[in-house]
Chain A
Amino acid sequence: MKKLSSANLITVLLLIVFFISLIVLEQLIAPTDRMNMLLVSLRQGSIFALLAVSMNLLNGFTGLFSLGHAGFMLIGAVTYAIFSIPLAYRDMVYLYYDYVIKVSFPEIFGNLLGGPGMMIGVLISIILAGLVTALIAFLVGLPVLRMRSDYLAIATLGFGEIIRAIIMWQGMGRITNGANPLRMFTRTDSFNITIGGYTFGLITFTLALLSAVGIFIILLLVTSSYGRAFKAIREDEIAAEAMGINLFKHKQLSFCISSFFAGTGGALIAIFMGTVAPIQFRAAMTYEFLLIVVLGGIGSITGSILGAMLFVFASMWWLRGLDSGAFLGLERITIFGVNLGEQVFVSGFRLVVFSVIIMCVVLFFRRGLMGDKELPYYVDKIRSKFKPTPKAGGVDA
């Protein structure tokens, strides 16, 4: 095991501080508080981070331009929901179908072991969601990964749509509830822990922790010899093959692992949103994650995390005023008889501003926030500015 460099150490410390502050914040902010938006954004942001990183593994590190993410997320979300709805609620959820799957892991383990047991059940459902997604990705990968790069993009996009059609098909209704939403599975307050009469809310912490574990596993993979093989494939397939890398095997591995985390991310999204409606998982969703990856920097894991956080915070919170007629006092300005607050800052303007920003990144800052470097690299860079003389040997990138 390599010794942690000081830049890495600082990054790890930052992470620990982040998680402790998450727990503290969650106890301080009441759900009715205005600042609750911060918690909601943090929850969504960390899930989006996992999803963006899993997409980056495929698009950024392996160089496979895949656009099937939304479909794989849907599989994960639906699988999670099916195996988590308590049996007592199933009649209410499956209004038009006789449900066939009569297993609810959180319920089984909850009855067995009480509160912590339910958490184990949730965890099992999430992992199962990932496994089912990875299995389907494996089958999808068999034909798709042999195609040329741009055909791969359109074929994965197609598979995303096919998956959605199958899940929404009435013939699958007894399992997936057809086009109707799945709901009434895990509630956010079931993540609360009561110790000595005081209730600790842990939903934000749990979601962030699960995402972090997923991201950490991807990080380990990317820095392993497999990761180096992925990068070799990205740079030049023919040269990589000549170096003895089995192209198809490595592509399939990257595809399945990326889809595994797309599935678990989908399950986390299901927990976050409380319902799973297949109609939401359109190709447009995949595009959003692709743009997050571009924003953060293609081929940078910390970049994707930052990109996801920025995306969520901006769209959920900071730019919200653009939709509701109040933004940094700009709403008082009137140009050519057009009042910005009343006529321009109306519903939908936020997304327009957003897409313009993203187009600027795509056109003028093609490297995104981080390029293909990670956070420790920048920590070192900043620190070296404060040092009078850089030490010999320089920075290890």
Chain B
Amino acid sequence: MSLYEFVLANLMSGISIGGQYALIAIGYSMVYSILRLINFAHGDVFMLGGLFMVFLAATFPLWVAIPALIILIVALGFTIERVAYKPLRTAPRMSVMISAIGVSYLIQNLALYFTGGLNRMYPNIPWLSDPITVLGVTTRRVTVVTPFLVIALVFALVWLINNTKIGIGMRAAAKDFDTSQLMGIKINSVISMTFVIGSFLAAIGSILFFTSFPGVFPAAGAMPGLKAFVAAVFGGIGSIPGAVIGGLLIGVSETLIRGLDVILGPANLGIISRPLELATFSDAFTFILLIVVLVFKPTGLFGDKPTDKV
């Protein structure tokens, strides 16, 4: 494999993973902008998306399994909000976040119990996981499809937020939670809708993500979840294009760091003679990025300036 092919293959898978992070990130971003809550359970909902698919695809044909999966995950996201977050609406923000961590802990332990902690093979989704060759690089179709699907979904979502009644409600609640209630916005249905959209995108994201991933295990959602949140912060909480750009950046830099030793190594550029073994940092890099952003531009790339109220 030539350097060009290697870099291109890495870029493509990076963009694809980044798109999948973006889909999860939108869920984080929307919930945070309205409730000021880091929904720690969102990554685990995403993981359950993978796990449900394993079980659904084992019994149903794919055209039943995929819609059933989406409905299940949406229902789950809705239920989590109603059961674990709604009763704490007036509680201090730390309590709600602790509740989110509790839900995450519960979901992971449930998954551990029902899978026995084993890695479950993700089913082969015929069209998506077929190999194709683009620009001389052989990859799975999902790698190519993801960016386009993400763009389409983002446009649909932006349209929804800008033009529908519920979208206006969301924007109003994000601007000022209490005042929007006074203006007659049904805050509970707006929040539920936010969770429904977030879970829907997480379900789509899980199909795309796990298709090119060896399998599903109980902690599989934790890291992608955290990275997606970082993506949301990077792009500016509340900004959907921001979440997408954040996701793409994290996805691409992560795959490039994994491939760094090969790119710089003696076989290609020849800059280093010994491998740096920086692949350990592919996860940590995300957080380095987060800290750099928070120190230099706390509102992210496209975020609104927060107003501090006394």
Show the binding face of A for B, using Cβ within 8 Å. Answer: 59, 63, 65, 143-144, 146-151, 153-155, 157-159, 161-162, 164-166, 168-171, 179, 238, 282-284, 287-288, 290-291, 294, 298, 346-349, 351-352, 354-356, 358-359, 362-363, 366
Judging by beta carbons under 8 Å apart, are A359 and B84 in contact? yes
B91 cross-chain contacts in A, Cβ below 8 A: 366
Top 6 closest A-B pairs, CB basis?
A: A158-B287, A165-B284, A348-B113, A355-B106, A170-B277, A351-B109
- Per the bound structure, the CA–CA distance linking A156 and B99 in Å amounts to 19
* Of A154, A162, A291, the contact of B101 (CB 8 Å cutoff): A291
Asked whether A150 and B110 contact (CB < 8 A) given A169-B280, A169-B281, the answer is no
Interface residues on B, range: 35 or more
Asked whether A349 and B97 contact (CB < 8 A) given A143-B295, A356-B106, the answer is no
- Residue B12, interface by CB 8 Å: no
Q: Which of B18-26, B49-57, B226-234 contacts A (4 or more CB under 8 A)?
A: B226-234
Judging by beta carbons under 8 Å apart, are A352 and B298 in contact? no
Judging by beta carbons under 8 Å apart, are A284 and B108 in contact? yes
* Of A147, A150, A298, A359, the contact of B97 (CB 8 Å cutoff): A150
Interface of A is mostly: helix
B105 cross-chain contacts in A, Cβ below 8 A: 284, 287-288, 291, 355, 358
Give B155 Cβ to nearest chain A Cβ, in Å: 28
Closest B residue to A152 by beta carbon equals B294
Show the binding face of B for A, using Cβ within 8 Å. Answer: 32, 36, 38, 83-84, 87-88, 91, 93-95, 97-99, 101-106, 108-110, 112-113, 116-117, 219, 222, 226, 229-230, 233, 276-278, 280-281, 283-284, 286-288, 290-291, 294-295, 298, 306, 310
* Of B117, B280, B294, the contact of A151 (CB 8 Å cutoff): B294
Judging by beta carbons under 8 Å apart, are A169 and B277 in contact? yes
- Per the bound structure, the CA–CA distance linking A170 and B277 in Å amounts to 6
Asked whether A359 and B106 contact (CB < 8 A) given A153-B38, A158-B287, the answer is yes
- Per the bound structure, the CA–CA distance linking A290 and B95 in Å amounts to 11
Closest B residue to A158 by beta carbon equals B287
Judging by beta carbons under 8 Å apart, are A154 and B230 in contact? yes
- Per the bound structure, the CA–CA distance linking A144 and B287 in Å amounts to 12
Judging by beta carbons under 8 Å apart, are A284 and B277 in contact? no
Given A169-B280, A352-B109; 7 other pairs, CB 8 A cutoff: A59-B94, A148-B298, A154-B230, A155-B291, A282-B219, A283-B222, A298-B94
B278 cross-chain contacts in A, Cβ below 8 A: 169
Judging by beta carbons under 8 Å apart, are B87 and A363 in contact? yes
A155 cross-chain contacts in B, Cβ below 8 A: 287, 290-291, 294
Judging by beta carbons under 8 Å apart, are A161 and B109 in contact? no
Judging by beta carbons under 8 Å apart, are A168 and B117 in contact? no
- Per the bound structure, the CA–CA distance linking A146 and B287 in Å amounts to 17
B294 cross-chain contacts in A, Cβ below 8 A: 143, 147, 151, 155
B116 cross-chain contacts in A, Cβ below 8 A: 347-348
- Identify which of A148, A164, A355 gathers the most chain B CB atoms within 10 Å of its CB: A355
Judging by beta carbons under 8 Å apart, are A166 and B310 in contact? no
B97 cross-chain contacts in A, Cβ below 8 A: 65, 150, 153
B283 cross-chain contacts in A, Cβ below 8 A: 161, 165
Judging by beta carbons under 8 Å apart, are A287 and B310 in contact? no
Asked whether A284 and B38 contact (CB < 8 A) given A169-B280, A355-B106, A362-B95, the answer is no
B306 cross-chain contacts in A, Cβ below 8 A: 148
Q: What are 21 residue pairs bridging A and B, where the CB atoms are less than 8 Å apart in the complex?
A: A143-B294, A149-B93, A150-B38, A150-B97, A153-B38, A154-B233, A155-B287, A158-B226, A161-B284, A162-B284, A162-B288, A164-B284, A165-B281, A165-B283, A284-B108, A290-B98, A351-B113, A352-B106, A355-B106, A359-B99, A363-B87
